[in-house]
Structure 1
Amino acid sequence: MVPPPVGRALRDYRALLAEHGPTWGEPPLGYVRMMSYLRFPDHARRMAAGPDADLDAAFRDALGGEVPRGLAVLRLTPGGHRLDHGPALALLSPGRVALTLLADSSRDAPVEVVVDGVAHEVPPGGARLLEATTGSAVTAGGRAVDLRPLTRPAEAARLRVRAGFPCRWTVVSEGGQGWYPPGVPERRDNSDAPFFHGDDLVLDVPAEPVTVRVARGMEYGTAETVVVPAAGEETLVELAPRRLYDAAARGWYGADLHVHMNWAGDLVAAPAEAAAAQLGEDLHVLNLVAGNVAGERVYDLEALRHWAGRDLPWSDASHLARMGVEYRNDLLGHVHAFGVAAPPRVYHTGFAGDADWPPNGAVCGELREPQAVLGYAHPFHGPVATPEDLMADGERNCTARALVVDAALGLVDGVELLHFSDLSATPGTVEVYRRLLGAGNRLAALAGTDTMLSFTRQDTVSSPPGWERVYARPEGPLTGESYARALRRGRTFVTTGPWLELEVDGRGPGETLDLRRGDRVTLIARSAGPEVERLELRTADGPLAEGPGGELRATLTAAEATYVVAVATGGRSARSPLRDAFAHTSPVHLDVDGRQVARREDVRWCLRWLDLLDELIRARARLRTRAQLRDHLDLVEKARAVYESRL
């Protein structure tokens, strides 16, 4: 499965990991510096992490005296030291378990902490985050630190888990300790739940109560049982999740368009791990994107070069995996591409001192040549009420500021409405998307999680791929080409789990009805999923009808061109653990008397956005020549002409 160039790249990544740890030696931009702390996401979010902050001390302060699972705190007190920790870890045989150790000093002089022969200085009143194991030799100020309380001996038993098809398994014992088959990465999701993928797997566990849970992506529920395996014996657990709906049987296939195999991290991920995750989550379409982190290196570039335009080896009739690419500019926004036929010329701009040039639109134009599907990735990070919210202070935070240009010029196909960076009840990205639709842009609703398989525990990105998905309905069998066409046409809806359908006089998302003023149409939204509490039908002017989950009907008399979307919302469930349930369709377009929607308020909103983008580029873009500035401003003016023509 691994061709020689890809194998060599993976070996290079392992060398980077061994030398630099989880940053792999990337330039220390803010998100690179945070990598070690995001293993404890609840506390990392509380950190005061300015550009000049002592992050170890900020992490210590964010803990507020708590000791989360996976961390031990070495308190360096004026009178000596003590070790604070959670429940002791069960050890089935003499060995070591990876450990993150936080040295926290209340002394008024520096303290030297030595871990396995490597010395680290902890400043007065300071802190240091250190990597160790439960078997490490540790001294503090020359005195040995006893790590034995971190573990306890346990009798070994054996567990075999079987569902009859690949699934996601969670096996935990006392204190939330996870157990895994031999050689399987010890992954944990955003909720700190351990998991692995596969079927008919054997693993060693303690001979004490063990909880076994099985799931399989968003089209299935969750099953759970507790067993007490006998010491020295193998216990079979046959458990399977119940299917809630079968999208493929209806001709719909769910995709995660934004997954990284390698992007720094605490391990190096091989294609086999991507295959296990896709099949275990029953994720129909997986787009593995090559991309950079903070410097020049583009991770998984060798895999892209080898497999561009071809299905990855584990693809079958209902599971399609492709190599794609992420183009990145932190000032103007990131774009992911699915269905690329060949590697692009440009992968990133603005990093490592490079100019923010060529403009995003120019790169999108090149990526579109082989008919790839382009979508802005994690576009907006919180509530958005005005165009000013998009610019903020010009921070380089991946906001999709150039989207207003590329949408007007037809250079992108869609927008990630669901992504990791905004988990609010009404994502800001959705509000901007509706503005863009109302201003006459035809964009598909897309989704991508930004899962990174090279992290075993890292905020949302270590959760399994596909926890948010875009469903598309291709014509004919599932292929890379048929799926790309369905995405481009907007035959999509995005979801955290609920099934959602929209019909307008029999037409679905991505389709257009040509009406005359006074024509009446029937709108129907249908949902499935136990977490759906509310259905809504919306036009460019806002909500048209709402009701409980199940089915919602309404009629509309055509007065002026508009669009119709359906939205489903609800509470938390095991199928949408990171946010409240949410699903949103792409629009059905209602043209009236030959005119397309161009709501004046939305067009003017986009024109104001363009004015602010012009100012931002002039003030903040890293450009070396007046010609580079002119290239940006030319695209802004072309987009302005498009919007003004719609008025």
Structure 2
Amino acid sequence: MCEDPGMSPAMARALEDYRALLAAHGVTWGEDPVFYVKSMAADAYLMGPRDFWGVCYRKVAERHPGADARELEDHLCELDMDEVVRDVLAGDLPDNLAALRLTPSGAALEARAQAVLPGRSLRTTLLVDSSRDEPSTVLVDGRAHVVGPRGARLIGITGGSRVVADGEPVGLGPLVRPAAAARLRVRAGMPCRWSVYGAHGQGWYPEGVPHRRDAHVLPYFHGDDLVLDVPAEPLTVRVCRGMEYGSAEVAVTPAAGEETAVELVPGRLYDAAARGWYGGDMHVHLNWAGDMVGTPALAAAMQHGEDLHVLNLVAGNVSSARVYDAEALEHWAGRDLPWSDAAHLARVGVEYRNDLLGHFYAFAPQAPPSRFHTGFLGTADWPPNSAACEELRALGAVTGYSHPFHVPISEGDGPEAALLWRRNCSAREIVADAALGLVDALDVLNHSSVEATALVYRRLIGAGNRLAVTAGTDTMLSFACRGSQSSPPGWERVYARVDGPLTAASFAEAIRRGRTFATTGPWLELSVDGHGTGDTLSPEPGTRVAITVRSIGPEVERLEIRTSAGVLAEGPGGELTAELVVDGPDYVVATASGGPHERTFHPTGVHAHTSPVYLDAGGRRVARAEDVRWCLEWLDGLEAMVRAEGRFESERQLDDHLALYGRARAVYRSRLGRPPPAPPPGAGGG
């Protein structure tokens, strides 16, 4: 029962429970049907660029004319997700979907034929799409499915299913294209990520391997020297190995009845570990509902296949009380998972969650915390997140807020542009927690709005807070088809400059000291008078410092050097230099950016951002008045939102939040009068 690496009996029982939940409830596993849970049913069919949110809001606006944006959000759960899928696709058909169009004049099947090998059967989903003004009934394998007027239904079928519409059988022949069988062996000499696909992107996988798709809708699996059954027809074989490598691909047509060997090796772009840097993904879920159940063996294969140095598998809830993978944390807290080696480290950590105040990760706690979440199923939003930050840090963990902000904002926007009332997991409490030194980092690289998060991050450090840049993808191994969240872990990484061998302690300490940069792929290096990220210089006012930024990666289009005043210098990828005359306390960061590229899974393109090099001129930390006031305004908005939308069982619970904001305000106000003392020269962030 426990042959999977890292499996304890309690973990094995939990995975069996998850399989039962999947069988009983489908992709949601029976979680409380808030909208982000309800929408899971649509994810597998809406991979790639789609106008999902636009369609959803237009549909509820039609039902509720005159409602404002907040009111429309409250009505999203009214939507029928099958109809949303139909409307978002707008006639398009992905390869995991066939359509039965019901019109006033009859029924017609639309499908993209899938190659099927001898002895195999096709499993797919039928979208029944009605343009009729009256209900219709469709029989699938003897079961009646009623489709409302102008409605839609998603129904699982096989190539051998019997479908009846309007009393007549629907021929399913167009679904299947019989193909002669061949075998393919793929080998690179090291674990890699492989993609094997044919006409229209149809993917092929080894036996028993999950049929995963990444954010580019490319099929993939991990390993080396693998054999898979494929059709004897033209195929593309592609190999890559995480962001430190490029990719290689070849076209091949295997001979029927024979095994064809393909040997491909991805070229290396840079070797971070050789420079003393190690890349980690601070936010990966083994299980979080989904269309499959994630296992330790899958996590091990993906980590090594991506050459991901550090993997933080987080235990957390979805929308109810159950904490997925809590048993793994209980068993492995404080210890490396068994597939770890000198260059690959895996730990079980925590995602602490409150949808009003924000979510944050904890890396390398020595024991499970006393709580994992607040505010779900109508429970109180208490205590503040700060209490969990303190507890997890006391357990030895590094903490950082995850997927912080969700809509683009501009440099001139006030805090209200990012606060966005309603429960949406924005990292609202970070402005208080950062002021009080209760959190170590912010996932500036995330699956949501990198631009908005980077802007808030620079406001926070400009206001005198010391936070490291980190990265967390929120990849979910229990989803095979869910955009960036079914992409491989480590598609964004925080690179940390480690002293000595890679260990959980050395990696955590590097984050605490701010010796980091985060990236979707490119290498990004910042030097200020020979000092790197996390370092503190103490120049006298009037001193000139030399700044150099270097990037590696074909996807970089633009480099920037930034200080608290904004962009100091900019240029194309490669190398950028500038000189700064220090006229007061400041910081220097570097960024890299570019448009959509095959090496990034973020929908907005290429991103990288360093932690700062601090310039504590005259022995004082930066505390830019504009940024401090911005943070104070944020706290005012946060207090108003918590008073209006927070759920509390007593005034004392609300008072705990207000007291937290009061302590944070006192810190910021002190910085308006006089910047806080700087740490000793050479010390990192804290």
Task: Report the TM-score, using the length of structure 1 for normalisation.
Answer: 0.97
| Cα distance between partner residues in 1 of 2:167 and 2:280 | 55
For residue 142 of structure 1, report the CA deviation from its aligned partner. 4.1
For residue 306 of structure 1, report the CA deviation from its aligned partner. 0.5
Q: Which amino acid aligns with 1:18?
A: A
Q: Does 1:122 align with 2:147?
A: yes
User: 1:162-177 maps to which residues of 2 (within 5 A)?
Assistant: 162-177=187-202
| Cα distance between partner residues in 2 of 1:327 and 1:118 | 43
| Cα distance between partner residues in 1 of 2:164 and 2:31 | 30
| Cα distance between partner residues in 2 of 1:204 and 1:118 | 33
For residue 332 of structure 1, report the CA deviation from its aligned partner. 0.9
- Of the three residues 621, 640, 656, the one matched with 1:631 is 656
Q: Which amino acid aligns with 1:417?
A: V
| Cα distance between partner residues in 1 of 2:586 and 2:644 | 37
| Cα distance between partner residues in 2 of 1:533 and 1:143 | 57
| Aligned position for 2:529 | 505
Q: Does 1:453 align with 2:480?
A: no
Q: Give the share of equivalent positions with the same residue, in percent.
A: 62
Given that 2:240 and 2:266 are in contact with CA atoms closer than 8 Å, whether structure 1 keeps it comes out as yes
| Aligned position for 2:56 | 48
Given that 1:515 and 1:590 are in contact with CA atoms closer than 8 Å, whether structure 2 keeps it comes out as yes
For residue 141 of structure 1, report the CA deviation from its aligned partner. 4.3
- Of the three residues 14, 18, 21, the one matched with 1:9 is 14
| Cα distance between partner residues in 1 of 2:83 and 2:590 | 47
| Cα distance between partner residues in 2 of 1:135 and 1:13 | 29
Q: Which amino acid aligns with 1:31?
A: Y
SS state at 2:10 partner: helix
For residue 46 of structure 1, report the CA deviation from its aligned partner. 4.3
Q: Cα gap change, 1:517/1:342 in structure 2, threshold over 3 Å: closer, same or farther?
A: same
| Aligned position for 1:418 | 445
Given that 1:222 and 1:574 are in contact with CA atoms closer than 8 Å, whether structure 2 keeps it comes out as no
SS state at 1:461 partner: helix
| Cα distance between partner residues in 1 of 2:655 and 2:361 | 25
| Cα distance between partner residues in 2 of 1:95 and 1:139 | 24
For residue 447 of structure 1, report the CA deviation from its aligned partner. 0.4
Q: Alpha-carbon deviations, 1:413-446, whole Å to 9, x = none?
A: 01111111126xxx10000000001000000001
| Cα distance between partner residues in 2 of 1:376 and 1:152 | 49
Given that 1:47 and 1:59 are in contact with CA atoms closer than 8 Å, whether structure 2 keeps it comes out as no
Given that 2:418 and 2:452 are in contact with CA atoms closer than 8 Å, whether structure 1 keeps it comes out as no
| Aligned position for 2:101 | 75
- Of the three residues 210, 222, 226, the one matched with 1:197 is 222
Given that 2:38 and 2:77 are in contact with CA atoms closer than 8 Å, whether structure 1 keeps it comes out as no
Task: Report the TM-score, using the length of structure 2 for normalisation.
Answer: 0.92
Farther-moved stretch of structure 1 (414-423 vs 184-193): 414-423
| Aligned position for 2:262 | 237
Q: Which amino acid aligns with 2:636?
A: D
SS state at 2:538 partner: strand
| Aligned position for 1:400 | 427
| Cα distance between partner residues in 1 of 2:245 and 2:437 | 37
| Aligned position for 1:527 | 551
Farther-moved stretch of structure 1 (378-387 vs 261-270): 378-387
| Aligned position for 2:415 | 387
Given that 2:407 and 2:418 are in contact with CA atoms closer than 8 Å, whether structure 1 keeps it comes out as no
Q: Which amino acid aligns with 1:65?
A: G
Q: Cα gap change, 1:262/1:118 in structure 2, threshold over 3 Å: closer, same or farther?
A: farther
| Cα distance between partner residues in 1 of 2:213 and 2:38 | 21
Q: Does 1:30 align with 2:35?
A: yes
Note the residue ranges of structure 2 that are not aligned, 5 or more in a row.
Answer: 58-75, 673-686
For residue 577 of structure 1, report the CA deviation from its aligned partner. 4.1
Q: Alpha-carbon deviations, 1:85-117, whole Å to 9, x = none?
A: 12x111111332221211111233322223334
Q: Which amino acid aligns with 1:247?
A: A
- Of the three residues 504, 508, 523, the one matched with 1:480 is 504
For residue 45 of structure 1, report the CA deviation from its aligned partner. 4.4
- Of the three residues 208, 219, 236, the one matched with 2:233 is 208
| Cα distance between partner residues in 2 of 1:210 and 1:566 | 41
| Cα distance between partner residues in 1 of 2:522 and 2:215 | 20
SS state at 1:292 partner: coil
Given that 2:484 and 2:601 are in contact with CA atoms closer than 8 Å, whether structure 1 keeps it comes out as no
| Cα distance between partner residues in 1 of 2:264 and 2:544 | 50
SS state at 1:276 partner: helix
User: 1:121-270 maps to which residues of 2 (within 5 A)?
Assistant: 121-270=146-295
SS state at 1:400 partner: coil
For residue 618 of structure 1, report the CA deviation from its aligned partner. 0.8
Given that 1:72 and 1:83 are in contact with CA atoms closer than 8 Å, whether structure 2 keeps it comes out as yes
| Aligned position for 1:110 | 135
| Cα distance between partner residues in 2 of 1:415 and 1:100 | 40
| Cα distance between partner residues in 2 of 1:337 and 1:219 | 25
Q: Alpha-carbon deviations, 1:373-397, whole Å to 9, x = none?
A: 11100000122222011233x2111
| Cα distance between partner residues in 1 of 2:553 and 2:527 | 19
